[in-house]
Amino acid sequence: MATKKKKPAKVEKGKLPENAHIAGAGEVEQQEITYTLRENYMPYAMSVIMSRAIPEIDGFKPSHRKLLYTMYKMGLLNGSLIKSANIAGQTMRLNPHGDAAIYDTMVRLSRGNEALLHPYVESKGNFGKAYSSDIECAASRYTEAKLAPIAAELFRDIDKETVDFVDNYDATMKEPSLLPVTFPSILVNNNLGIAVGMASNICSFNLAEVCETAIALIKDPEHDLLSTLQAPDFPSGGQLIYRREDLEKIYNTGRGSVRVRAVYNFDKSNNCLDITQIPYSTTVEAIVTKVTDLVKAGKLREINDIRNETDLNGLKITIDLKRGSDPDKVMNKLYASTPLEDSFGCNFNVLIGGVPQVMGVRELLDEWIWFRIECVRRRVGFDLSKAKEKLHLLKGLQKILLDIDKAIRIVRETEEEAEVVPNLMIGFGIDEIQAEYVAEIKLRHLNREYILKRLSEVEQLEADIAEMEEILKSSRRVKSIIIEELRAVAKKYGQPRRTTLIYATDLEEEKEAEEEDIPDYPCTLFFTAEGYFKKITPQSLRMSAEHKLKEGDRITQTIETNNRQELLFFTNAGTVYKSKAADFADTKASSLGDYVGSKLGFEPGESAVYMAVTTDYSGYLVFFFENGKAAKVELSSYATKANRRKLVGAFSDKSPLVAMFQIPADTEFFLASTAGRRLIVHTGAVAVKTTRSTQGVQVMTLKKQHSLESVVPFTEGMVAKASRYRTRTLPAAGALLSAEDVGEQMTLL
């Protein structure tokens, strides 16, 4: 009896049968972290750098290039607007990313978004605004797009082998590795890219200026760039603060920053400021939020209201002022404390031959010139090859002219079609290509008029071929072609600068004039141990000399000065807050005064420990620490050009601060330690440091469990024998108090 075979158990798709064994399953393999990073992370990092985030010499990232080339092949250079969703879908044949990412790329390249000086995409519908985070673009099914006229300069002669073509991601199509741009687009439109471990941020320049500079560099490699390329030119306009040294750094190294401020108008009838242009690096919402916060904090008391009035007519921020406010002074405050003045950091990181390189403007233009020379040579070589092929055909046709009847007879008398071409070759002594061309001529064209017209092109072709061969032999001729193309582009697409220039020296003069407007009158400044500040005029001080203080508080500093002084408040957190005497209201001795921590916005737990007063930041600050070290720092180290209100790292935090003093010149201090020793230190023996957070130098040697206890300025008469406590070298342990010095004078310590 035959046994019935048992059917194998049915296994669901994606599941393993029970009791299945997989070799190595459950085993943990030890790997060095360096190996894992090299094998797994490095390929990803290189892919992001090479294929996504860093632009190449034609000025485009791969996503930009794939999108624009797709639109070009769709006939959108001269065609009508079509739905953006259609474009995004077609681009997916070259770009493996989703349609949302492709559409975002197109939005940034569009005219409606206003992110570029020279948009490459004409748009219809809501494409959002680069200067607003709230105005978002509509979905791709609602908007339409086509290529802008300037995009013709990106694809000129692309079909003449000017650039290499490579396979797309699935090897079903060809796409250009670069675009044969006829102008330095890498500098004309700004480009931001964040890769892995590196980034690129290229600012935009005026098209006409870039073309003029490229022409000048072709003629003279030592050309002064700043004479033709004034400064960056941003799509959002604004005013660029011109400092030649900053621009030279960017032009030479490819790194640096420029400061740009907003443009405003004062509406006298409505007593408001209308801001119509803002720095490219910020948004309307960021500005409104920052101004609102400052108004709530009481730091901009001249402002009643701020509104975002951006509409179809363009950007507009309206700031309502209180009656009697000076609009220029209010704007200067806004420039100093809000994104209405902001910096644009430049990092000209570009892929050159597959290698990321940070290049200055001169290097970038030189690289683009060599790239364009190669494109022109390849174009001329392509045209030369086609011209020679055509001339070769016409030479064969020229021989047919000798006896047209013979050609007709050969064709008629040939029995097989395959023998027509060989018979023509034998009959007229021409090659196969020429014979094939003759054989394909229509019967209606076998007349003397047609043939003579074709032969008239021979002379012109020979002249063109000679011209093209001469161009290929002469780099000067190639460069002259590039110069002509650059001039044509500048003339056709050039536009006036959007970003105007203001000189830093002019701003400094305005600042000085503003400072002169601050009332100048004598006053006495008082600072207490609890952090209270009073500014009292001499008249008020004479009327009431008795101070009101919090219980347990005491006045630690009294300085007779004037209302124009700058104040530096040092805190226990090693931070300094900068202010001005004019920022504080005049008060009376009978009031507590202003609590500095609240006035200047200290961090929680911070308290003021010292107040420095200056106008020109001359002199020194001397810090004494518990470990017996002293640091002498130039007061100029705390001066800032940008009017920063807060500086961290004001002094070292390696050891607790015992005392600090502001001195105009070197002087002596009397130090006391917990071991009962005293030492007179002359600050001339302490080296000057420019680093604010320096630990200083050891001036008093201390035994374990002892520390520096107090420091006061030394004056003659404080001790009976000052020489006992002085020393020629530092550090020194000091001396114990002599019998005659143990008395009431020591209570000063």
DSSP letters spanning 269-322: TTTEEEEEE--TTS-HHHHHHHHHHHHHTTS-TTEEEEEE--BTTB--EEEEEP
Tokens 């916005």 -> residue: 601
| pLDDT (average), residues 731-743 | 83
* The pLDDT value given to residue 346: 94
* The pLDDT value given to residue 510: 59
What's the start-to-end Cα distance of the chain, in Å? 119
| Token digits of residue 23 | 């070799």
C-beta neighbour count of 508 within 10 angstroms: 11
Q: Residue 599: is its pLDDT beyond 50?
A: yes
| pLDDT (average), residues 175-181 | 95
Instruction: Fill in the DSSP letter of residue 205.
Output: B
Q: Can you tell me whether residue 529 is helix, strand or coil?
A: coil
Over the stretch 514-532, which tens digit does the pLDDT of each residue have? 555 677 889 999 999 999 9
Q: Residue 14: is its pLDDT beyond 80?
A: no
Q: Residue 4: is its pLDDT beyond 80?
A: no
Spatial contact of 670 and 713, defined as CB atoms under 8 Å apart: yes
| Token digits of residue 542 | 């004479």
Query: Between 741 and 152, where is the model more confident?
Result: 152
Element (H, E) at 100: helix 99-109
* The pLDDT value given to residue 276: 94
* The pLDDT value given to residue 749: 47
Q: Residue 680: is its pLDDT beyond 70?
A: yes
Residue ranges of E strands in 67-135: 82-83, 121-124
| pLDDT (average), residues 675-693 | 89
Tokens 């699935």 -> residue: 170
As a whole number of angstroms, the distance between CA 31 and CA 746 comes to 69
pTM above 0.75, yes or no: no
As a whole number of angstroms, the distance between CA 147 and CA 187 comes to 20
Element (H, E) at 561: strand 555-562
* The pLDDT value given to residue 16: 56
Side-chain-side CA neighbours of 236 within 13 Å: the count stands at 30
SS3 content of the chain, % helix, strand, coil (to 5): 35, 25, 40
C-beta neighbour count of 188 within 10 angstroms: 25
Over the stretch 535-567, which tens digit does the pLDDT of each residue have? 998 888 888 768 888 888 899 999 999 888 899
* The pLDDT value given to residue 631: 93
* C-alpha radius of gyration, the chain, whole number: 40
Q: Can you tell me whether residue 339 is helix, strand or coil?
A: coil
* The pLDDT value given to residue 557: 92
* Mean per-residue pLDDT of the chain: 88
At 272, is the pLDDT very low, low, confident or very high (cuts 50, 70, 90)? Answer: very high
Q: Residue 6: is its pLDDT beyond 60?
A: no
Spatial contact of 643 and 566, defined as CB atoms under 8 Å apart: no
Domains detected in the chain: 60-180 (3.90.199.10), 263-339 (3.30.1360.40), 516-748 (2.120.10.90)
Query: Between 407 and 356, where is the model more confident?
Result: 356
Q: Return the closest-CA partner of residue 307 out of 333, 357, 270, 337.
A: 270
* The pLDDT value given to residue 417: 84
Q: CA torsion sign, 634 to 636 to 640 to 646? A: positive
Q: Return the closest-CA partner of residue 238 out of 499, 502, 497.
A: 499
Query: Between 268 and 42, where is the model more confident?
Result: 268
Pairing of strands 608-614, 566-571: antiparallel
As a whole number of angstroms, the distance between CA 350 and CA 185 comes to 13
Distance of CA 635 to the CA centre of its chain: 32
Element (H, E) at 48: helix 42-48
Q: Return the closest-CA partner of residue 695 out of 633, 610, 602, 615.
A: 633
Over the stretch 34-79, which tens digit does the pLDDT of each residue have? 888 788 888 888 878 777 889 999 999 999 999 999 999 999 999 8
Element (H, E) at 435: helix 432-439
At 747, is the pLDDT very low, low, confident or very high (cuts 50, 70, 90)? Answer: very low
- Using a pLDDT cut of 90, give the percent of the chain over it: 56
Side-chain-side CA neighbours of 24 within 13 Å: the count stands at 2
* The pLDDT value given to residue 456: 80
* The pLDDT value given to residue 40: 82
Q: Is residue 500 classed exposed, middle or buried when 0-12, 13-18 and 19+ CB atoms within 10 A define those classes? A: middle
* The pLDDT value given to residue 1: 46
Low-confidence winner among 42-56, 194-208, 426-440, 679-693 (lowest mean pLDDT): 42-56
As a whole number of angstroms, the distance between CA 699 and CA 628 comes to 6
C-beta neighbour count of 446 within 10 angstroms: 16
Q: Can you tell me whether residue 121 is helix, strand or coil?
A: strand
Q: Which amino acid does the sequence have at 404?
A: I
Element (H, E) at 76: none
Low-confidence winner among 131-140, 287-296, 720-729 (lowest mean pLDDT): 720-729
Q: Residue 666: is its pLDDT beyond 70?
A: yes
Residue ranges of E strands in 626-683: 629-634, 646-647, 657-663, 668-673, 677-682
What are the beta bridge partners of residue 321?
303
Q: Return the closest-CA partner of residue 109 out of 137, 132, 80.
A: 137
* The pLDDT value given to residue 194: 86
Q: Residue 8: is its pLDDT beyond 80?
A: no
Residue of 41, 44, 142, 503 with catalytic role = 142
Spatial contact of 481 and 162, defined as CB atoms under 8 Å apart: no
* The pLDDT value given to residue 301: 83
Low-confidence winner among 150-159, 205-214, 232-241, 448-457 (lowest mean pLDDT): 448-457
As a whole number of angstroms, the distance between CA 707 and CA 701 comes to 9
Distance of CA 149 to the CA centre of its chain: 28
In 92-113, which positions are buried (b, 16+ CB within 10 angstroms) versus exposed (e)?
A: bbbbebebeebbbbbbbbbbbb
As a whole number of angstroms, the distance between CA 147 and CA 249 comes to 36
As a whole number of angstroms, the distance between CA 111 and CA 107 comes to 8
595 is catalytic: no
> Which of 96-100, 165-169, 195-199 has the highest average model confidence (pLDDT)?
165-169
Q: Return the closest-CA partner of residue 199 out of 57, 354, 350, 74.
A: 350
Over the stretch 113-150, which tens digit does the pLDDT of each residue have? 999 999 999 999 999 999 998 899 999 999 999 999 99
Q: Return the closest-CA partner of residue 202 out of 367, 366, 369, 364.
A: 364
Spatial contact of 668 and 714, defined as CB atoms under 8 Å apart: yes
* The pLDDT value given to residue 497: 94
Q: Return the closest-CA partner of residue 209 out of 481, 502, 489, 485.
A: 489
As a whole number of angstroms, the distance between CA 451 and CA 523 comes to 105
| pLDDT (average), residues 566-584 | 90
As a whole number of angstroms, the distance between CA 144 and CA 259 comes to 36
Low-confidence winner among 6-15, 204-213, 285-294 (lowest mean pLDDT): 6-15
Q: From the DSSP assignment, how many helices (H) and strands (E) are in the chain?
A: 20, 34
| Token digits of residue 145 | 């797009």
Q: Is residue 526 classed exposed, middle or buried when 0-12, 13-18 and 19+ CB atoms within 10 A define those classes? A: buried
* The pLDDT value given to residue 18: 61
Over the stretch 414-438, which tens digit does the pLDDT of each residue have? 888 888 889 888 888 888 898 888 8
| pLDDT (average), residues 465-480 | 94
C-beta neighbour count of 230 within 10 angstroms: 18
Q: Return the closest-CA partner of residue 581 out of 659, 637, 646, 522.
A: 522
